[in-house]
Amino acid sequence: AQSVTQLDSQVPVFEEAPVELRCNYSSSVSVYLFWYVQYPNQGLQLLLKYLSGSTLVKGINGFEAEFNKSQTSFHLRKPSVHISDTAEYFCAVSDPGKRDDKIIFGKGTRLHILP
């Protein structure tokens, strides 16, 4: 079964600085990869997804992620963060090649934006 690891439970970063949130998944022949954002007291919202094709995926709010098959990683990046990016971010993975495979979520990374 697939698994996903978010290496940092919390990441503090100054406003307007760049940020990278790390995500690694267990190896599989085929993968779908996702990043979700959860603002305080809200549900999860899809930021971006990788299904196939270009390894650099652009999402909403200026975020992007790069699929690296050799390193089994899907790190999320933003070149300049804002206070409004304060949230928890979840990486998720699924294996579309396996019948009945379901999405597995990481434990989340809290992004703290420092003024």
Partner 1 sequence: NAGVTQTPKFQVLKTGQSMTLQCAQDMNHEYMSWYRQDPGMGLRLIHYSVGAGITDQGEVPNGYNVSRSTTEDFPLRLLSAAPSQTSVYFCASSLGLAEAQYFGPGTRLTVL
31 φ/ψ sector (left φ>0, alpha ψ -120 to 50, else beta):
beta
Nearer of residues 9 and 80 to partner 1, judged by Cβ: 9
Residue count at the site for partner 1 (CB under 8 A)? 24
Asked if 49 is part of the footprint of partner 1 (rule: CB under 8 A), the reply reads yes
Which of 29, 40, 43, 70 contacts partner 1 by CB under 8 A?
43
Q: Does 112 bind partner 1 (CB under 8 A)?
A: no
Q: Which residues of this protein are in contact with partner 1, per CB under 8 A?
A: 9, 32, 34, 36, 42-46, 49, 90, 92, 94-96, 98, 100-103, 105-108
